[in-house]
Structure 1
Amino acid sequence: MAKTVVSFVLEQLGQFVLKHAFRSVVEEKSLVKGVESDFNEIKDELESIHAFLKDADTRYGDDGGGGGSNGVKTWVKQLREVSFRIQDVIDYYIMYEAEKVNHPKASEIASEIQDIKLSLGKIKERSTRFEFRSEGGSGSYRGLKAPRIGDPRMDPFFIEETQVVGFEFPRDELVSRLVGGNDELMLVSVVGMGGLGKTTLAKHVFDNELVRGDFPCRCFITVSQSYTIRDLLIEMIKKFCKICNEPNPEGLHNMDDESLITNVRKYLEPKRGSRILVTTRSMHVAVNSKKSFLVHVHELQSLPLNKAWELFCNKAFRGQCPTELEDESKEIVQKCGGLPLAIVAIGGLLSTKAKTIFEWEKVSQSLRIELHRNVHLTDLVKILSLSYDDLPFHLKSCMLYFGIYPEDYIINRKRLTRQWIAEGFVTQEEGRTLEDLAEEYLIEFIHRSLVSVSKVGFDGKVKSCQVHDLMREVIIRKMKDLSFCHLCHKDDDQVTLGITRRFSIAAISNNDLTNTSNSGIRAIFVFDKGEFPNHLVDGLIAKFKLLKVLDFENSLLNSIPDDLGNLFHLRYLNLSHTKVTILPRSIGKLVNLETLDLRQTRVHELPEEINNLTKLRLLPVYYRKYERHYSMLNFTIGVQMQEGIGCLISLQKLYFLEADHGGIDLIQELKKLRQLRKLGIRRVRGEYGNALCAAIQEMKHLESLNITAIAEEEILDLDFVSTPPKLRVLNLKGRLANLPNWIPNLKYLVKLRLGLSNFQNDPLDSLKNLPNLLRLNLWDDAFAGDSLCFKVGGFPKLKELDLTRLNKLSSITIEKGALLSLHHFRFNNNPQLKEVPQDLRHLENLQFLGFADMPPELVESIDPRRGGECHWIIEHIPLVLIRQKVGSRFHDYELYPIPTISNV
């Protein structure tokens, strides 16, 4: 655990030393004389200690169970704390140096640096007492042997067939895969998070009578994370020799790789076609062999509630649950989240308890504490900890972030990855954006079965995710041990007196968070939805000057203090969905700010000082009027910006800018924003067309473009000489004389939304060959005719189609063989479409059909409860929903499903 912290500090030290190495004293006077050489010495000392940290962490006991001696624990704790002090002194130095004057705190910094050097020397000296082994030395703790009896991973070898619950279907499916088919070599991978029962399932498949009959020569090998291919081959040969009653080949352990492979072939070649069954937490491992031979991947799921309940009752009661304990028992099973290992472990614990409501409630309420102190649950924690322990150090800090969010919280991908970036957890690579790299980190967690996906966008990208409740408990323990974050998630949570780097506030208590000697807080997250006292915000900003992350999303924050600009290191400021209306002018002093999130706030004008933020990359700012009825032009309010916007040279995302404030001069400044990936611009006048096209043509990285006219009658002239080559998302809301001829040529386009276009001719023929289009929205008389035709072969990849407020549309033709990939089809408020299109029956892959505020005769015709004579047209579709408006606000509607063959 100390290795993670020290590695991160070493990286920060390296960057600092490199930056200052060639600085001339003549060119720029140092704040503290000789500071660069001091930091270099500190870096050297820390590097020499770093080599022993893997051994130190192992002895400390990464499972948090207290495996190491008190002396080692104290040593690791001291090293972590001095690492924090190094971070603090670097950040204070950089902050004061930026002021370009001799700061009164300079002597304190000099004194602190000298004290750190002394502390590091003593820590290094004490390390010799423990005889730590250097990383890469002969003493590897994660051995080359399979787990022994006593290791929790051995439990599946002692589970009888009658004890297995919930694996019947996957067991039968895997057996079928193994014994079926031809003699071609096949690899079957069982993938899932720790605790799902992968090894248990594999063992019972291995011992199945059908498998035994088909594969008399077979071996079951459990390997540790450090196994090599060579170790695996040796273990296989030993197993085969045992099966055949033969001695191990002479000199087995000294054989070269080629000889080992020859020996394995000796046993396998005369046998029937081979099968390999692998269990893993990593999807990478599961699919890595696809190029070599046939691979079948089985993603093991959590137990369904009925099977989870059956398993729990078997373990806790040896049968049926007493009636008086049902409610508490079901709550406990719910907390296990369908994880078999958790159900068995907690059920086993409860089997030793008195069968009383009092005992059951006590365990349920103190489950977090029980997980880490009760011998019955220790193995569960160890199994879940393995996945975290095996992460590379740069991913461990990112993984800990999941513990910051409250229990059962659905975590937005963009919010999470932007926080990682702000903390410096994502390392820049040439030619790659930080956002792309951060998304890869998240995908890695998903592939390792550490994180589950909650929602996926139409383009297949993860939109939100979460971690299993019990995995979160393990993370929280790691956070506490690492001083990573202090959770204020209950009214009575006490503010920590020790060192911590972050506050996560889900309950604003009477405790004063600023009443701590620890001023090195780097991030504050507020999840409490109650009133947020102004004095508390003032105190946090005044006290914690090294903050990098401030996140108030969805809180009732009313205002931002004037001294916000004192947070020199702030990189991420999230005020989205708060009640903030004005930003202080001091925001211009936040020269390191990279993300300013103002979505769904009433901030309508940004101070001109915002143009000082040359590192600002992300600026989403708008307010959508969900309290009112939808109007395409007036539903969203953007932001007014001042002259000088061209100074924001790092800006990658800007939406929504109001063009009529500043006019053509403002638009011409957009030319300088050559790093833009996403641009949203509203209230555009016709005369801005040429200037806007000229500016956009300079944005070679642009992927998303959203343009809205100032009024319905305003004609947008968007005649690009050349369009951004990487454009993936296009929203055009305004009158277009004709469909621009550049749109059908956008080969990377995945989403197209047209509104108010008023095309007289069917635009589908021009759009049908867009090769990668996944989503098409035609809204608010984008098409002013009465008939649309989807032709065979058109829109080859389209998944979602939305036709909304096309006031003259009365008929739709879908040729057989058209829209073959369509999954979602929505009709919304098309008053002349009074008959359900019969060609919907051709859409065999359609999963969802929605009708919102459509003519009553159409709705009645598909509802079998009202005699629906046209029900046959849609009966093959799994989900058909009717939405009816019931009020004036955006979300005032009711939903009811139409029964179909697929859902009856």
Structure 2
Amino acid sequence: MATYAALASLMSVLDQIQDHPRISNCFHKKQLESLSHLVGFLLDFVEITHSHVGVLSEEYEVLESDIASASYAAEDVIETHVVDQIHSGLILLDLQSVIEVIDSVKDKVGNFKKEMGLKLDQKEGPAYSLPTPPSTSSSSNGKSKMVEFDEELIQLLDALTGRQPSLQIIPIVGMGGIGKTTLARNAYESRLILNHFDICAWATISQEYSLKKIFSKLLSRQTSGVGQEIEQQLGQKLYQRLIGRRYLIILDDVWSIDAWEKMMFFFPDNNNGSRIIITTRLSNVSIYFGSSYFSKKFLDEDKSWNLFCEKAFPQEEVCPPQLEEIGKKIAKKCKGLPLLIVVIGGLLRKSSCTQEYWENISQNMNSILDSEEQNLDILSLSYRQLPAHLKPCFFYTGIYPEDYEIHLSELIKLWIAEGFIKPNKIKSLEEVGEGYLKDLVERNLLSVGRLRLNGQIKTCTIHDLVRDLCIKTAEKEKFFYFIRFCDSPRALTKERRILFLGKNSEINHDLLSHALESAPLTRSFLRNAGWRPVRFRLLKVFNVDYTDSLPSDIFEQINLRYVWIYYDFYKHKHYSRELPWTVSLLWNVQTLKIGGFGIFYAPTEIWSMPQLRYLEFARLCLPTPPLRSQEKDDSIVLKNLHTLKTVVDLNLSEEVCKRIPSVKILKIKYNDFLPERSSRETFIYNIGCLHKLESLNCQLGNVQPCGNLVRNLKFPTSLKKLTLSGRKIEWEDLTTIGSSPNLEVLQLKDGSMTGSEWNPVEGEFLRLKYLFINSWELKHWNAESFHFPVLEKLYLSGLLHLDEIPLGIGEIPTLALIHLLSCNESASMSAMSILEEQESFGNDHLRVVIQFWRKMELERFTEKVVDFECFNSNNLQLQSLAD
């Protein structure tokens, strides 16, 4: 919704100007306050009026257009003045004409409300009342469940585990949203499948596919880590990994036979029952394979109704009697398409449970669904019913490529940069943004992907049809200007957000650069590859996935709020670079993130960037902060900094800690060549001064033991996640860590621990849910269930000498997973003994996963444990990763 986005962005600019020690001086304070009051009035009007569907009309749309135009014009005047002020030091800007324009729009709003018969309470400012539908709450923060189609799943499992030895390709065909991927996912995650196949791998193909990314995904490797390897080399590595092994490969969302023909030679037929599942919307793709295929059918009325109830009433899964008749009518109109049922159910879940409201939804639904265009019409109901503040946030999910795994933390950063998230006196902007995301998930417009170690949502995905709706609606409302493939873009004189939907190889750079030079009002530029410098005077968001050059003038575009660049150091054969001092001119920047493998050296001026919230580099050296002229000098305090990583050899002096008082996520790397031992200890000694710190990742370097470093540290009570790696830490030093009252996640990586025996102390680790241990020396672990009373997941890696996992660990009532990777046989057998004992007690909640690097290790282990009663348990998974 462009109107709300325009107002929210303007309000964000006004708030930040008033709080900025340098910029606020170039405006009249009373004028800023007056303008903020007017914008706040209009924001409330749009939010409240928009939620009342009956008020929307042609007149309202015209009024919204006037509000948006006035807001954009005001923002242009103000931000242009800020740019000029910083560059040239101009005089105060008189905002009276801007105020008059906004005030005239407020008068139109008043007239509109009088015509509509709305009440205006002058004492409360923008306080008029409209009935708003109550929203329901939900505690779901994990993956939403789908109705399982038992018959189809059983048939697919039979086909996957059947006796046919030759390689079988099993297509699943059906229209978008009918549940092809869900069926494949349910089979892929089945215990039967995990135990039957040596290797299981999944890759999404999509219309615009990259063989390099597909092979990297199937090899479980990050694309950025494959260096200069070409597709052929990666394909050969995949072939070598699969040869001689029984494998299951899922190729999801295949759009062309051409894609398959480029990959098929790298899937060997081992004559051992290997299988490949291909999901596709195109029947000609499935027919190509000349074998029987699974054709996903529409749900019948009973299954449609059950799924509808599950999504509309997630707590009870039962429809109230007064709504059952109209509810069944709505479910029937979805014609058995699961995606539509899920999204409409999510809409009704968050809305008023009245017959009148549900009847209104039913009347707005198409009765015939024969094409994806008509399906989009149904899905648009869910968009139209979104609250005003969620619409621009929903639009932003369309910037990601098809089938992309969206990291929610990055999406929230973009929302904050655009000004979409309204400040809240109780919650931080990040917490408010998480609430927005949860709302979109509960409405089933986004699907949960991966979870964090603490169980919170880490990533999400968006269905292709929902993404199509998002893009088409955003384009229609002129929220984004999309440049596709080989388009010859027109002059972009009025476009505020430009999104490139295409491959770098398909760009006509000369035409694009010429068009971009005529984009004086552009605030957001987002694209997936490559960059040729173009100066955007008022640019706020600059998001480029990859660039082989880092133009210094990007740090001179002083209106920026969000910068994300992946920079290829190695292509230029240098591994370090200095950030220019002009970075401090970015008065409003919130996110400064540069990926790559090199190291950046920041200037002293970086301490004078009070709006910074996220400072993220592969490696960053921060200078000693300048002395403050007085104790209350806030101009060189990063009071809003939320995330700082990865900083190299940061000396956490008391003074530095005072400069980053709000940091919640901190990642530090200390090199092996730090000064003498006593100096190294002082570098991190003051960590307890960071009273809001929740996540600390400390890479201590591969040095000799450093006295009682960890034992003498005082961690902040706010700490929830701690990762240590690289230094020889004594097991008894963990007493300090275990006493942290809120610690939920502890990761001991890279052989960070020294000593052969660990004796935890009762009363510690009271809230620990996730424990990861990688230790080459640990032999004896003496623990009982009361040492880790709420532990949920235990990961052990590279424990080559551990005699056994304590049997008492299995008695922890919350324990759901024991996962061993490349551990010795005695530790692995003890894990199976724990599982066997727990299953004998009737505990079917615990899962055990044991992974070996080589197939021969797995075979040798299997021979020794085949007589265990739990050997055929669905809760046991034995795997080899690579030969």
TM-score range, shorter chain: 0.5 to 0.7
Partner of 1:575: 565
Return the match for 1:469 from 457, 464, 468.
464
How far does residue 34 in structure 1 lie from its aligned partner after superposition?
Answer: 11
2:771 is matched with 776
* 1:849 CA displacement: 0.2
Deviation track 1:118-156 (CA, whole Å, cap 9, x = no partner) reads 798599789989996365699999999xxxxxxxxxxxx
Compute the TM-score of the two structures, normalised by the length of structure 1: 0.62
Match of 1:479 in 2: 474
Equivalent pair of 1:2/1:53 in contact (CA under 8 Å):
no
8 Å Cα contact 1:545-1:566 kept in structure 2:
no
SS of match in other structure, 2:512:
coil
The DSSP-based 3-state class of the residue aligned with 2:670 is strand
Q: Say which of 384, 392, 405 aligns to 2:400.
A: 405
Give the match's secondary structure for 1:462: coil
Task: Sort the Cα spacing of 1:120 and 1:601 in 2 relative to 1 into closer, same or farther, 3 A.
Answer: farther
Matched, 1:795 2:860: no
2:75 is matched with which residue?
Answer: 87
> For the residues of structure 2 that align with 1:418 and 1:24, how far apart are their CA atoms?
24
Instruction: State the shift of 1:443 in Å.
Output: 0.8
Match of 2:501 in 1: 506
In the alignment, structure 1 residue 453 sits paired with structure 2 residue 453: no
> Hey, what does 2:665 align to over in structure 1?
678
Please state if 1:639 is matched with 2:620. yes
Could you tell me which residue of structure 2 aligns to residue 425 of structure 1? 420
Question: Matched residue of 2:662: which SS?
Answer: coil
| Offset, 1:806 | 2.6
Pairing partner for 1:751 from 745, 755, 760: 745
Alignment of 1:754-769 (within 5 A): 754-755=748-749, 756-760=751-755, 762-763=757-758, 765-766=760-761, 769=764
Question: Which residue in 2 is equivalent to 1:191?
Answer: 311
Distance 1:13 1:608 in 2: 26
SS of 2:768's equivalent? coil
Choose the corresponding residue for 1:818, options 791, 807, 811: 811
Q: Give 2:310's aligned amino acid.
A: V
**Worse overlay, 121-130 or 584-593:** 121-130
The CA deviation string for residues 275-312 of structure 1, in whole angstroms up to 9 with x for no partner, is: xxxx9526976999xxxxxxxxxxxxxxxxxxxxxxxx
Displacement, 1:458? 2.7
Cα 1:438–1:404, aligned 2, differ >3 Å: closer, same or farther?
same
Counterparts of 1:679-718 in structure 2, within 5 Å, are 679-683=666-670, 686-688=677-679, 690-692=681-683, 694-715=685-706, 717-718=709-710
8 Å contact from structure 1 (residues 406, 489) kept in 2? no
Counterpart AA for 2:722: L
1:789 to partner: Cα distance: 4.6
Give me the whole-angstrom Cα distance separating, in 1, the residues matched to 2:802 and 2:814: 23
1:876 has 2:857 as partner? no
* Alpha-carbon distance in structure 1 between the residues aligned to 2:454 and 2:26: 52
Instruction: Describe the shift of the 1:842–1:765 C-alpha distance in structure 2 as closer, same or farther (beyond 3 A).
Output: farther
Mapped contact 1:671–1:695 kept (Cα < 8 A)? no
Q: Please identify, of 42-51 and 590-599, the stretch whose mean Cα deviation from structure 2 is larger.
A: 42-51
Match of 1:586 in 2: 582
Distance 2:528 2:449 in 1: 19
* 1:71-470 to 2 correspondences below 5 Å: 77=65, 79-99=67-87, 101-102=89-90, 114=97, 133=116, 165-167=298-300, 170=303, 190-191=310-311, 220=324, 222=326, 280-281=345-346, 345-346=368-369, 348-349=370-371, 371=373, 377=374, 380-470=375-465
What's 2:179 paired with?
none
Contact 2:789 2:812 (C-alpha < 8 Å) held by counterparts: yes
Shift of 1:527: 1.6
1:806 corresponds in structure 2 to 799
Aligned partners of 1:7, 1:651: CA distance in 2, in Å?
25
SS of corresponding position for 1:426? coil
Corresponding residue SS for 1:586: helix
Cα contact 1:572–1:595 (8 A) shared by 2: yes
CA drift of 1:750 comes to: 1.2
TM-score (norm 2): 0.63
Counterpart of 1:621 in structure 2 is 617
Aligned partners of 1:444 and 1:595: how far apart in 2? 24
CA shift, 1:729, in A, is 0.8
**How many residues are aligned here?**
654
Distance 1:13 1:648, change over 3 A: closer
Please report the RMSD computed on the Cα atoms of aligned residues, expressed in angstroms: 4.9
Contiguous gaps of at least 5 residues in structure 1: 62-67, 145-163, 175-187, 207-216, 224-278, 289-340, 350-366, 372-376, 623-637, 887-904
* Shift in alpha-carbon separation, 1:43–1:119, aligned structure 2, 3 A: closer
Q: Which AA in structure 2 matches 1:90?
A: I
Structure 1 residue 462 displacement after superposition:
0.8
| Offset at residue 604 of structure 1 (A) | 4.0
> Amino acid of the residue matched to residue 133 of structure 1?
M
The 3 A distance-change label for structure 1 pair 423 and 879 is farther
How big is the shift at 1:496?
A: 6.4
Letter in 2 for 1:805: G
CA 1:576–1:846: 2 relative to 1, 3 Å: farther
Q: Deviations over 1:454-507 (max 9, x none)?
A: 121231111111223222223223312332111224223634646332111232
- Contact 1:861–1:868 under 8 Å retained in 2: no
Q: Relative to structure 1, is the Cα distance of residues 169 and 824 closer, same or farther in structure 2, using a 3 angstrom cutoff? A: farther
- Equivalent residue, structure 1, for 2:526: 525
- What do residues 162-214 of structure 1 show as CA deviations (whole Å, max 9, x unaligned)? xx95257757979xxxxxxxxxxxxx953259xx9x9xx98xx99xxxxxxxx
Where does residue 719 of structure 2 map in the other structure? 727
User: Would you say the 8 A contact 1:808–1:832 is kept in 2?
Assistant: no
What CA distance in whole angstroms lies between the structure 1 residues aligned with 2:717 and 2:67? 51
- Residue 718 of structure 2 aligns to a residue in which SS? coil
1:44-95 deviation per Cα after TM superposition (whole angstroms, max 9, x unaligned): 996899699759997887xxxxxx5xx9866654553343222211222233
RCO higher in 1 or 2 (8 Å CA, sep ≥ 6)? 2
SS in 2 for 1:564: helix
Compute the displacement of 1:676 (Å).
1.9
Whole-angstrom CA distance in 1 between matches of 2:718 and 2:528: 37
Following superposition, the deviation at residue 833 of structure 1 comes to: 4.3
Residues 28 and 743 of structure 1: CA distance in aligned 2, closer, same or farther (over 3 Å): closer
Post-superposition shift, 1:343? 12
Looking at structure 2, the residues matched to 805 and 24 of structure 1 have their Cα atoms a distance apart, in angstroms, of 54
Q: Which amino acid aligns with 1:423?
A: E
* Cα gap change, 1:386 to 1:687, in 2 (>3 Å): same
CA deviation digits over 1:367-403, x for unaligned, max 9? 5xxx2xxxxx2xx444322322333322222111112
Task: Provide the residue aligned with 1:148 in structure 2.
Answer: none
Residues 1:441 and 1:42: Cα distance change in structure 2 (over 3 Å): closer
Letter matched to residue 860 of structure 1: E
Superposition deviation, residue 602 in structure 1:
2.1
Q: Which has more radius of gyration?
A: 1
